[in-house]
């Protein structure tokens, strides 16, 4: 699919052409056409991506960086070409700044445990910049996905450092001014999401990077909800590490990406060790390769990387600026529709403030799981729960929310069906008569 044009929202005809590339979206669910509004959890895959992985497995599959035979060479070329494709997509200075991981959670753990190993003296003098001691601080936000919170909790517990967090507002958002109040001379790491998976808030990355670097702190960016949905130039943003997943951006499960500045990756001690990431092994000790191989121990996700590269090419064919415009248009359509429904509380940035193409909300008197099940009966797939962000929901005074999230294949009709069905929910459960249940 190649439809790059002006930097405006996709037309409905263009979206319908895109949608035709996705076999899974051609079905009915519970007797209704499928409206898939759960792309924030996992995106669907176009035929082009499915075909690319299948073609690789049928023709070129072999272990990479090992064999001397033809298939091994073809497989290695495909694997490294995929790395170069993804590197270009996110603004990496060179392909070696892209490390293949199992997913974004794995990538964030890789960084956190690398800090922990450095704090135990691993990595020598080059790794001193990653060493944490009691009195040092790791800063996150109250809005983080557990994958960008729990690893830092573990790092603090291991090293004696203190975990601190930027509090959020009643809407679940935070500002650069809030960050400035919490970044101090003791801050060594600042980790936060580029786009919140609950509120859709777009973080002030450049401002936070400037504040952190002024204090000598390193910045780790969770880009899971930005890499698939908007133009991303990590080098320009100025962050030091970033993580995202393949399955959220039209690609397969089982592959994620850690991006890092080359000089930092080369100095960071690995935490997963074994074959393929070493230069010399004796019975007493081992020496590790430079990045990215030093972090890719064992058998690599080769076909998954190939498929992810095809997903990147698919998104580039549409135009990531148009993807962003399309999703922001749909988010506003959702917000406008939900604003007319009584008993709905939407969390996140107020009207007029840019947000991603996802909307989380609470229905007064109806549990989020009941909301999701009612919508599913209408053929509308959404996410319900705490979205792996329990502290944020606790701060908002909510146990759970319902989240509708769009992508390149989401139509205005999908959104309109969703809004209409949400408008029926309180009546169906009797919550409009009782006030609350």
| Residue among 2, 1, 4 at smallest CA distance from 321 | 4
Residue whose pair of structure tokens reads 């573990």 in the numeric block: 154
How far is the C-alpha of 43 from the C-alpha of 249, rounded, in Å? Answer: 6
- Catalytic annotation on 224? no
Helix (H) or strand (E) holding 181: helix 176-182
140: Cβ contacts below 8 Å, ≥ 6 apart: 148, 149, 152, 163, 164, 165, 166, 190, 191, 192
DSSP 214-267: HTT-EEEEE-TTTTTTS---HHHHT-SEEEEESTTTT--TT-EEEEE-HHHHHH
Q: Could you tell me the sign of the dihedral formed by the alpha carbons of 249, 251, 256, 259, in that order? A: negative
Whats the size of the chain, residue-wise?
437
Query: Which of these, 170, 224, 226, 214, lies nearest to 190 by C-alpha position?
Result: 214
Q: Which of 29, 297, 341, 388 is catalytic?
A: 388
Rounded CA-CA distance 186/77 in Å is: 44
Stated as kind and residue range, the H or E segment containing 244 is strand 241-245
The catalytic residue positions are 388
């Amino acid at each position: 699919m190649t439809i790059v044009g002006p930097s405006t929202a996709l037309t409905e005809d263009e979206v319908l052409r895109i949608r035709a590339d996705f076999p899974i979206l051609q079905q009915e669910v519970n007797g209704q056409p499928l409206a898939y509004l759960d792309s924030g959890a996992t995106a669907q895959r176009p035929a082009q991506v499915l075909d690319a992985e299948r073609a690789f497995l049928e023709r070129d599959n072999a272990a990479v960086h090992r064999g001397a035979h033809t298939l091994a060479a073809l497989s290695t070329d495909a694997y490294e070409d995929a790395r170069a494709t993804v590197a270009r997509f996110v603004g990496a200075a060179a392909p070696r700044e892209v490390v293949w991981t199992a997913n974004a959670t794995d990538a964030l753990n890789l960084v956190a445990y690398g800090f922990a190993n450095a704090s135990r003296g691993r990595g020598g003098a080059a790794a001193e910049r990653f060493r944490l001691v009691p009195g040092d601080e790791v800063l996150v936000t109250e809005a983080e996905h557990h994958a960008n919170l729990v690893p830092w909790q573990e790092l603090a517990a291991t090293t004696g450092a203190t975990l601190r967090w930027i509090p959020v507002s009643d809407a679940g958002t935070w500002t650069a001014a809030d960050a400035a109040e919490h970044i101090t001379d003791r801050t060594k790491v600042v980790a936060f999401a580029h786009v919140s998976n609950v509120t859709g808030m777009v973080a002030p990355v450049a401002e936070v990077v400037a504040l952190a670097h002024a204090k000598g702190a390193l910045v780790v960016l969770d880009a899971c909800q930005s890499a698939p949905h908007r133009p991303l130039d990590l080098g320009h943003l100025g962050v030091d590490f970033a993580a995202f997943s393949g399955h959220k951006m039209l690609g397969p499960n089982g592959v994620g990406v850690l991006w890092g500045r080359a000089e930092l990756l080369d100095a960071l001690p690995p935490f997963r060790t074994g074959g393929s990431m070493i230069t010399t092994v004796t019975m007493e000790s081992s020496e590790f390769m430079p990045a990215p191989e030093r972090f890719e121990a064992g058998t690599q996700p080769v076909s998954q990387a190939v498929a992810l590269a095809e997903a990147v090419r698919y998104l580039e064919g549409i135009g990531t600026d148009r993807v962003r415009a399309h999703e922001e248009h749909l988010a506003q359509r959702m917000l406008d529709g939900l604003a007319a429904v009584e008993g709905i509380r939407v969390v996140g940035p107020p009207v007029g403030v840019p947000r991603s193409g996802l909307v989380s909300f609470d229905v007064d008197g109806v549990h989020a799981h009941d909301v999701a099940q009612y919508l599913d009966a209408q053929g509308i797939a959404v996410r319900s729960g705490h979205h792996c962000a329990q502290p944020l929901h606790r701060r908002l005074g909510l146990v759970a929310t319902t989240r509708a999230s769009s992508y390149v294949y989401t139509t205005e009709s999908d959104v309109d069906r969703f809004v209409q069905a949400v408008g029926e929910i309180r009546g169906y459960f009797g919550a409009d008569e009782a006030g609350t249940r």
